[in-house]
Structure 1
Amino acid sequence: MKGKYTRVTLSMLLALVLFLVGCNSNEKTVKEDSSSNSDEPVTFTLFSADPHSQWDNMESPVSKKVIEETGVTINAEFDVSGGEQKIPLMAASGEYPDFILPKGSASTLVDAGAFIDLTDLIDKHAPNLKKIYGEYIDRLKWSKEDPSIYILPTSAVDHTYWAPGNGFMLQHDVVRDLGYPEIRTVKDFENAIKEYMKKHPTIDGQPTVGLSLLADDWRIQISTTNPAFYATGASDDGEFYINPETHEATMHYRRPEEKEYFRWLNHMNAEGLLDPESFVQKYDQYLAKISSGRVLGLIDTDWEVADAQRALREAGKEERMHGMYPVTLTEEYKHHNFQDTGYLGGWGIGISVDCEDPVRAIKFLDFLASEEGQILQNWGIEGENYEIVDGKRIIPEEEMNERNNNANYVKETGVGVLKGFAPYYGDGVTDSTGQTYTIASPEQIKDAYTETEKEVLKNYGVEMWKDLYPQKEEFPVKEWGAAFNIPVEAGSDLELVMQKCLDIVKKRIPEAILADPDDFDKVWDKFMKDLEKAGVEDAEKAYTELVKERVELWNK
C-alpha cells in the first residue's frame, strides 16, 4: 500500500469508525422512502473500484440520450488499484458518493453502514430490476443472518457464453507459420513460442517477446496466479480452490498440481521465453508492448487485453492479434472456462446513505435495466448506430466495421459506457420483439472475425474459439457460484490473514518463477511455510464455513 498507512493501521482505524458508527447509527437519516418526484436535472457521484478506459464523461450521444430520458448525470471516479486504499479510507471518513461499485470490498462498506437496504426501493420503484433478476432475487441477499440487499449485481443475467474469456493466447502468425500445430498443453504452447522465436528473433525491428505476464498490483491475480486454476483442471474461485464434493476451501497455491504449473513458468524463464519485464511493467506498458505486435504469447483474460487487441486490428496487424486456446498443464486436465456458476450475487453497485434522493437513484438504475435502456447500451441510437429493417434491428456494415476496428468506439458513441453500472441481459436473451438484447450471436461473432482469424479457425477444424474448449455441459453447475464473490467481514481475522497471504503471494510467486531451476523447490517450500505462519490453515477453515453458508443460502 502506498503512503504511510499499513493494512493493519487502516483496519484498526476502520474498527474504530465502525464502533462510532454503531454508537451513532441514528445520526444519518436514510432517505430511502422519500422521493423528489422531480424531473429536474440531477448529478449523482459514483466511485468504481475498477478503471474505465472508455469513460465518456456522459458527453457521447448515447449518454446524452440517457440524460434526456432520466435527467441524471453521473460524475464518476474510477480507481486504478481496485479500491484497496480508497474504500477503507472512505469507510473510515464516513463520507460517501451516491453510488459505489466496490468490487470485492463491499464488506468494508456494509460493516461501516455505508449502504442502504435496497429491498423496499426495488419493490416500490424498480419493476425492471425485479424483472431482470427474476428467480435470482434471493441471491441478492447479503447473508443468512442479514437478508438485506445492499448490492445490485451487475453481471449478465441468463448469459450464453459464445466466446472464451480465459485461456492461453497465441499470435495468429505463430500457428500459421508453424503449420497449425496442436495447442493443447503448456508444452505445446512452449514449443510453438520457441520455434517461432528461432525463426523470427525480431518483429518490425524490435526483439520478439515470447510470453509476457502482468503482475501490476491486483492484476497479478488475473494474468499470473489465477490461470493456475484453469491450467490444472479447476475454475477460478479467487484465492481458494473449492472441493466440489465437500465444499472445503484450500488456498489454491497449496495444491501440488499448481506447484508444477509454476515450475513450468520457472522453466519458461530459464529458457529465455518469458518476458524479463513481466514483474516490473505497469499495465499501460504491458498494453503498449502487446499493441506493438511483438508479444507472441499471453496468459490472460479477454477483457484485460481487449484494448491492445483492438489497437492491433486498427493498425492493420491482424496477424499479430491473438487466438485463445484451452491449454492445461497436461492432457489429463480439462479447461473449466465454460463451467456454469449460475447467476452470481456479490459484486455490483450500491446506493450510499449519503445519497440525497435514493428513489431517483434506483429509478436511474431501473431505466438502465429496462428494455429501452438495454437497447441503448447494446445497440445505440436508432438511425445513428442501427436501423430497423422489417421490424428487426440491423447494424449497417460501415457501423459494424467501426465497432470492430475503432479502439475508441465505446467512448465516442457511448454504446456500452454505462453497461457496468446495472444488471443486464446476457447474450441469447430476447426482448419483447423476439430479438436478442445484445448484438452478440454466433453469426455476428463469426462475422466480426478478421480474415486471418477465420483462416486459423478453419485450419483447426472449428468455426469459433469456443469450439476448441470443453463445453459447459461437461461440468456440473457450481453450487456456490464463484467463491471470490462471497463477502468477507471487514476487519475480521479472515480478511487480515487473507491479506497477509496475498502479500506473501505477490512476493514469493515472482521469486519462484525467476529463481534458478535448481532453487525452485527451496523457494516454493519457503513460500508454503510463509503461508502456514501467516495462518493459512485457519483462513481455509473460516472460508470453508462461508462457502457452506453460501451453498445453504442459495440452495434452500
Structure 2
Amino acid sequence: MKGKVFKSIVATTMATTMLMGSLTGCAQSSGGSSNGTSTDTSVDTSDKPDTWIADRTIVVQAYVDDIGYSLPNNLSDTPVGKEIKRLTGIDVEIQYTPGDNDAAVLASHLASGSIPDVVVTYLNDSSRPEFSLLHKAAKEGMFADVTEYMKNSKVYKKYLEEGYLPNDAYKNITFRDDLDGAYIMQLSIPAVDRTLEFNPQEEYVGGMYIQKDIVDTLGINPSEIRTQEQFYQLLVDIKNGGFTDDHGQPVYPLGPKYWGGSKDTLDYIVRGYDWGVSDGYNMDTDGTIKHEVETDYVYKKIDFVRQLLAENLINPEFFTMDGTRAAEVSETHNSAIIADVHNYKEIVYQTGDWVPLGPLDDYTGDNARTVRGKTGYGAWAISADSKNPEEIFAFFDFLSTPQGKMLGNYGVEGVHYDLVDGKPVVKEEVLEHLNNGDSEWLINNVGASFGGSGVVFWEYVMTDLDWLEECGESRPGASAGTGFEGAIQIATDYPYKKKLVPGLKATAYLSSEGLEEVKAQMSLLDYREMLVQAMYAPNEKEVQNIVEGFRTQLQKAGLEEFRDYLTETYTEDKESINFYPVN
C-alpha cells in the first residue's frame, strides 16, 4: 500500500493531523477548480498558440510557507493567471496547509497515500528532511517517472547534460542509482555557475554591523578588523569611548542579532576559532576527520566569549533576547555593534546609520565567504495517479522558458512591463507598489512574483536561472532605481571575497543507509548549545566538565562509525564533503 513506510513518521511528527481529504477543506488554495484535474482531449487546438498544452486544471500542493502566505484570492482571476490560461490552457490551483512545519505536513500527506497532481517543497540539497520523505515516496511508486518527458522538453532536457546539474542534485536526488527513473526535479538550478562572481544587485551582505558615528569617532576602517584580537580591542575602545544610545544610556559594545538572541551569531563573532567548518567537522592536516570538540578550538571559542562577558563588552542577554527587544536595542543604538543583520533590512539600507564590520578571518587567516558552487533550491514531483502527467511536465517546462519566466516574474508585457532593447522595464505604477512593499497589490492585481515580493510560487518553481543575462537585472525593478538602492550601494562599497569549497556539509551524510541509529543519537546533541552553556558556566572547572561531557556523548552516539563513513566517502570523492582543503 502506498505510504505505508510513512506511518511511523506521522506518529512522531504530526500525530493529530487529518488525512488529505480532510486537510483540503481547511487548506489555503488559490485558482483553478476545486473539482480537481480534468482534461479534454477533444479540444481543437488549431487556433491555439504554440505554447498550448491542454485545457485542464493542475492541482499543486505546496509545502513552502512563502508560497502559502503569498497566494492570491483567486489566482485564475489575476492578469498573470489569465495570460497563462490563454497561452497554455492551464488553470493552476495551489493548495497550502499550515502545520507545525512544512516537512511534517508533507509526511502526513504522503502517509495518506493520496496527493494531488504535483507536490512542491523545500529542497536545498539531499540533506534536508524533505528529501528522505520524497525518496521513500518515489521508491514506493507514488511519483511519476519523467525521464522520457525530459528528453523532448525545452528546458529540463538540460538536466540530462553532463555537468549541468550540481553533483548532489544529479547523484543523490534526480538520477539516483537506487531508483529506476527520474522522479524528483530540483528547482532553481542556475543556467551558469556564477557563485564566484560578485554582483552587488544579488549580494546579501550579512553579519556584524557597527554604528557609522562610532566608526567616524574612532577613526577606524571597519573592513580592516579581521582578527579576534583586533575585534576584542575594538570592543574595549568602544567601552572606553563613553558612547551612549538614543536614551543617553551607555551602549553595549556588542549587541545581539537583530532578529533576537541566537547561537548562529557564533559564526561571526568567533569566526577565527571556527575550526569545524562543516557542521562541526573538518579534516585535520594529517588527514584525520575530527569534530571541533576534539580540538582546542572549542576552548578558544568559549574563553573568548567568557572574557567579553566578564568585561561587560557584550550584552548579557546576547544569546537569549527575544526578537522584539533585540530589534529595539538595535534601533535605539544601544548596541554599538549588531552581531547579525544584513543590507536588505530597513534599519541598514534606509538609515545609513550602520556599516558592515569585518568579516573576521577564519582559522586559516582568510576572510573570504565560502561557496559550494552550483546549487538548487526547492523540488517538485508529479503524482503517479495524475492524469496525463506529460501535460503537467510540459507546463512546468513552460514556466522555465524565457517566456514563462518573464510572465511569472514580471507580469504581462505591455501591462506591467515593457521590453526595452530586449530587457524588461517595470512600468511606473508597478514600480511604485514594488518600492512601497505593497505585496498585496502585487499578488492580487498582477499575480506575478517580482523576485519574491508577490506570488512566490511562480519564481519558486522556475529553473535554468540567469536573471542578469535574461532580464538585465537580478531582481525586478533594480535597474530602474528602487527602494533598495541603499542596500545595493552597501554591497558595492563593501564587497567580499569568495572561495569555492564544494560538497555537502558532513552531517548531510547522517541520512545515509546504515547510519540511522547514529543519526538518531546525534540528533539529540546540540554542539552550539553546549558552547553557550559553557560560556555562562560559573567557573573553569564547570566549563571543562561540560566540554568533556559532550565529547563522551559524541563518542557514545557513534562518532567513530560516522568518522569511518565520512573518511571513505571523502576518499572516493574529494568534492563530496565541504571540508577546507588540507594545507
TM-score > 0.5, shorter chain as reference: yes
User: What SS class does the counterpart of residue 318 from structure 1 fall into?
Assistant: coil
Alignment-derived partner of residue 517 in structure 2: 493
Q: CA deviation at 1:425?
A: 1.6
Q: CA deviation at 1:267?
A: 2.9
Aligned counterparts of 2:265 and 2:406: Cα–Cα separation in 1:
36
Do the aligned partners of 2:265 and 2:339 also contact (CA within 8 Å) in 1?
Answer: yes
Do the aligned partners of 1:342 and 1:481 also contact (CA within 8 Å) in 2?
Answer: no
Distance 1:282 1:506, change over 3 A: farther
Do the aligned partners of 2:537 and 2:543 also contact (CA within 8 Å) in 1?
Answer: yes
Alignment-derived partner of residue 335 in structure 1: 367
Residue identity opposite 1:498 in structure 2: M
Alignment-derived partner of residue 175 in structure 1: 215
Question: Aligned match of 1:269 in 292, 301, 309?
Answer: 309
Residue 493 (structure 2) pairs with residue 464 (structure 1)? yes
Residue 96 (structure 2) pairs with residue 42 (structure 1)? no
Do the aligned partners of 1:379 and 1:439 also contact (CA within 8 Å) in 2?
Answer: no
Counterparts of 1:264-303 in structure 2, within 5 Å, are: 264-281=304-321, 290=330, 294-300=334-340, 302=342
Do the aligned partners of 1:156 and 1:426 also contact (CA within 8 Å) in 2?
Answer: no
Q: CA deviation at 1:471?
A: 3.9
Alignment-derived partner of residue 365 in structure 1: 396
User: What SS class does the counterpart of residue 52 from structure 1 fall into?
Assistant: helix
Distance 1:395 1:425, change over 3 A: same
Do the aligned partners of 2:208 and 2:268 also contact (CA within 8 Å) in 1?
Answer: no
Q: Deviations over 1:24-71 (max 9, x none)?
A: xxxxxxxxxx997632333311113xx429942145868646754542
Alignment-derived partner of residue 57 in structure 1: 71
RMSD across aligned positions (CA) = 4.8
Q: Deviations over 1:151-198 (max 9, x none)?
A: 333345123443555753213524344323332223434444554465
Distance 1:142 1:188, change over 3 A: same
Alignment-derived partner of residue 145 in structure 1: 177
5+ residue gaps, structure 1, are: 1-8, 15-33, 458-462
Q: CA deviation at 1:282?
A: 5.5
Alignment-derived partner of residue 17 in structure 1: none
Q: Structure 2 length normalisation: TM-score?
A: 0.67
User: What SS class does the counterpart of residue 164 from structure 2 fall into?
Assistant: helix
Residue 154 (structure 2) pairs with residue 127 (structure 1)? yes
Counterparts of 1:32-431 in structure 2, within 5 Å, are: 38-48=54-64, 51-52=65-66, 55-58=69-72, 64=81, 68=85, 70-77=90-97, 81=101, 83=103, 85-86=104-105, 89=108, 92-94=111-113, 96=115, 98-103=118-123, 104-105=128-129, 106-112=131-137, 113=139, 116=143, 118-120=145-147, 122-124=149-151, 126-131=153-158, 134=161, 135-137=163-165, 139=167, 140-143=169-172, 145-146=177-178, 148-157=181-190, 158-159=193-194, 160-162=197-199, 165=204, 168-173=207-212, 174-181=214-221, 182-193=224-235, 195-196=237-238, 199-203=242-246, 208=251, 210-213=254-257, 223-224=264-265, 231-232=272-273, 237-241=278-282, 249-281=289-321, 290=330, 294-300=334-340, 302=342, 306=344, 309-310=345-346, 313=349, 316-320=350-354, 322-323=355-356, 325-328=358-361, 332-337=364-369, 339-344=370-375, 348-351=378-381, 353=383, 356-357=386-387, 358-376=389-407, 378-383=409-414, 386-395=417-426, 403=434, 406=437, 408=439, 414-416=449-451, 417-418=456-457, 419-426=459-466, 428=468, 430-431=469-470
Q: Deviations over 1:359-416 (max 9, x none)?
A: 4443343233221233345555545654433444345789767656638599656312
Residue 549 (structure 2) pairs with residue 535 (structure 1)? no
Do the aligned partners of 1:183 and 1:327 also contact (CA within 8 Å) in 2?
Answer: yes
Q: Greater relative contact order: 1 or 2 (C-alpha under 8 angstroms, separation 6 or more)? A: 1
Aligned counterparts of 2:564 and 2:58: Cα–Cα separation in 1:
47
Aligned counterparts of 2:352 and 2:436: Cα–Cα separation in 1:
10
Aligned counterparts of 1:156 and 1:231: Cα–Cα separation in 2:
32
Do the aligned partners of 2:269 and 2:339 also contact (CA within 8 Å) in 1?
Answer: no
User: What SS class does the counterpart of residue 511 from structure 2 fall into?
Assistant: coil
Aligned counterparts of 1:53 and 1:194: Cα–Cα separation in 2:
46
Distance 1:289 1:369, change over 3 A: farther
Do the aligned partners of 1:211 and 1:296 also contact (CA within 8 Å) in 2?
Answer: yes
Do the aligned partners of 2:400 and 2:464 also contact (CA within 8 Å) in 1?
Answer: yes
Do the aligned partners of 1:168 and 1:297 also contact (CA within 8 Å) in 2?
Answer: no
Q: Deviations over 1:129-160 (max 9, x none)?
A: 23478532473334463254443333451234
Aligned counterparts of 1:206 and 1:552: Cα–Cα separation in 2:
51
Number of residue pairs aligned between Structure 1 and Structure 2: 492
Larger Rg: 2
5+ residue gaps, structure 2, are: 1-7, 14-38, 42-52, 578-583
Query: Which stretch has the larger CA shift, 62-71 or 532-541?
Result: 62-71
